[in-house]
A and B are shown apart, each in its own frame.
Chain A
């Protein structure tokens, strides 16, 4: 009864509960959430939920967990504003509001049979992690898989232990670079674009997925195009202010599209002209 009435309004959240909370960076926390429905919530990689901290507000957060585990909804949150800070503080057992899943995700079907080049920056690795779970679950369906990840500093590298674990399995090439490093960091230093020319993939038959701050994505896309990746083989995930997630609050407009409904993942050639303009 409660659920039925609560879900009738797309603006009313369903009630969920935090099951687990762990730290993934200086101000980054990952929550495992379970809904009241036993079978959880099916979602596609790249989609997002609107998460409510009761009494504080609601923000869009991408799924960062495994789509094969719909009863464990994983969201990685950077505590930057009042709502994300309140969400990041929620501990096990605490109630959380949830609306979703929303949006068009990564083109998983398109990736089959091709090399997959993934370039992420900062927290941009979180919305792509479900892609990696899917790729690894059916590793034989894909060609070379490369993950290039840029972070601010070694301490800011998201999901570091998981990346190291994947590295040891040799199923995907992983290169991580940081903007600056001190002390004992022995990996790459420099922007993530510098890793593209050295990566082992076939740019003419690859699909590229890009996620990170918009300025980083612009330069990564230039690097991918220079390497020979076609415009219609590059996908990116856009970030805009969102209040409703159903295309009716107007906030996330990006030219003709609503990022919440038509995105957040877009094929590059469809937004390239808008991306080149400022303050759209």
Chain B
């Protein structure tokens, strides 16, 4: 990679970045407000970004609020994650057509779009890296994920605020974007200024940065200011969880009474699995036209909280709420290490915020650690 000096970009420069990406053929997606939440969708210009908005998050609670300034990235994460683009909620895998010889299997063509993600947080960079391990570095490569992932252009944003349910510091996944991006921004807002410190992580990032207007080399003061912003965020995490012993802790406590306790609150709605940026489980479903000429198979996000998930003939392996919550949490925090060599949790806090009854994964782990049966 060419070594690129950190650069400072104005808001016009950022607009220029969006334009440059679009000219290169990318479908530019980023944060925008919809249904009273900050979600990820197509953005045409920086005016689509949630300027001046923030989010207030707690267990089971998410509210938008006005900020005192015009920050474009002054919030944490919302209900969406980038997996909805890389690992779509519903995806047709193939079709089978009846022809003279019998059947013909028609593979699903690769998508004809390339994504540029704007505003990817450090936790979500880690989440993408984790799904890379699941879909690209496993025994079998998933071509659907690869087709979306390979050409994606990632513009990360270092977090200037920590959400009420954030705990990336505990999981060593943030708040600073360390790797896995093409460009990383730090938003700097002062009395008179609204600028972005930009670091390039790849050649593609360098190349596009070089052609942007309104950019100037970063000064030492700029670098110090950006460091201070991230440090302040790191110091104001909403949650905390000891993560160095999770694997052993949970696997030696599979019969802990806390699972019964959490089962009384858990509604098994599966929200946590849908908002989780690493949850990858899917089911497949078959459909056919009425004439039976064409059939197709689709893949759909699935959740380990459903009864069907573990169904084998006769019944479900995990029929109790206790066992299904335990499966989710021990997978996320423990068995994921055995399977993929990494934690399945990045500390984004989405599962806490979007749980309708506010079950808090950090609290559950701490409760198990506090009262360990001998």
Contact = CB atoms under 8 A, between A and B. Distances in A.
Interface stretch (A50-58, A67-75, A130-138, A221-229): A50-58
Given A240-B310, A241-B310, A8 B107 contact: yes
A6 B313 contact: no
B313 A10 contact: no
A57 B338 contact: no
A90 B82 CA distance: 42
Contacts of B138: 246-248
Contact of A55 (B107, B292, B299, B323): B292
A13 B106 CA distance: 10
Contact of B107 (A9, A250, A253, A280): A9
Contacts of A253: 327, 331, 335
Contacts of B104: 2, 15
Interface in A23-75: 52, 54-58
B48 interface: no
A183 interface: no
A257 B254 CA distance: 16
Contacts of B287: 55
B339 A10 contact: no
B107 A251 contact: no
Interface string B73-86: 00000000000000
B338 A15 contact: no
A129 B312 CA distance: 22
Interface stretch (B139-147, B158-166, B178-186, B238-246): B139-147
Interface stretch (B27-35, B60-68, B277-285, B361-369): B277-285
Interface stretch (B3-11, B116-124, B314-322): B314-322
B319 A249 contact: no
Contact of B96 (A97, A251, A280): A97
Contact of B105 (A12, A80, A94, A239): A12
A241 B311 contact: yes
Given A12-B93, A57-B286, A277-B255, A255 B317 contact: no
Contacts of B319: 279
B295 interface: yes
A248 B317 contact: no
Given A10-B140, A54-B96, A241-B312, A249 B102 contact: no
B134 interface: yes
Interface in A72-91: 78, 80-81, 84
B302 A249 contact: yes
Nearest to A10: B140
A95 interface: yes
Interface residues of A, number: 46
A170 to B, nearest CB: 36
Nearest to B330: A255
Q: Which of B313, B320, B323, B327 has the most CB of A within 10 A?
A: B313
A165 to B, nearest CB: 29
A149 interface: no
A250 B280 contact: yes
Contact of A277 (B93, B135, B254): B254
B288 A9 contact: no
Nearest to A250: B281
A239 B107 CA distance: 29
A258 interface: yes
Interface residues of B, number: 52
B132 to A, nearest CB: 12
B305 to A, nearest CB: 12
B105 A6 contact: yes
Contacts of B134: 248
Contacts of A10: 140-142
B103 A239 contact: no
Contacts of A239: 312
Contacts of A279: 317-320, 322-323
A81 B313 contact: yes
B142 A251 contact: no
B142 A240 contact: no
Contacts of A261: 139
Contacts of A9: 93-94, 107-108, 143-144
A251 B105 contact: no
A132 to B, nearest CB: 24
Contacts of B322: 279
A23 B295 CA distance: 28
Contact of A256 (B302, B304, B335): B335
Contacts of A55: 286-288, 292, 295
A57 B285 CA distance: 7
A54 B288 CA distance: 8
B254 A280 contact: yes
B297 interface: yes
A234 interface: no
A58 B284 contact: yes
A11 interface: yes
Nearest to B142: A248
B96 A11 contact: no
Interface of B: 93-94, 96, 102-105, 107-108, 134-135, 138-144, 251, 254-255, 280-288, 292, 295, 297, 299, 302, 304, 309-313, 317-320, 322-323, 327, 331, 335, 338-339
20 contacts: A5-B107, A6-B105, A9-B107, A9-B144, A11-B93, A15-B104, A15-B105, A58-B297, A78-B313, A241-B309, A243-B284, A244-B282, A246-B140, A248-B138, A248-B282, A251-B302, A251-B310, A256-B335, A279-B323, A280-B327
Interface of A: 2, 5-6, 8-15, 17, 52, 54-58, 78, 80-81, 84, 94-95, 97, 239-241, 243-244, 246-251, 253, 255-258, 261, 277-280
Given A17-B102, A94-B102, A279-B317, 13 more contacts: A12-B107, A54-B295, A58-B284, A58-B297, A78-B313, A81-B313, A97-B103, A246-B139, A249-B302, A250-B302, A251-B310, A255-B335, A279-B322
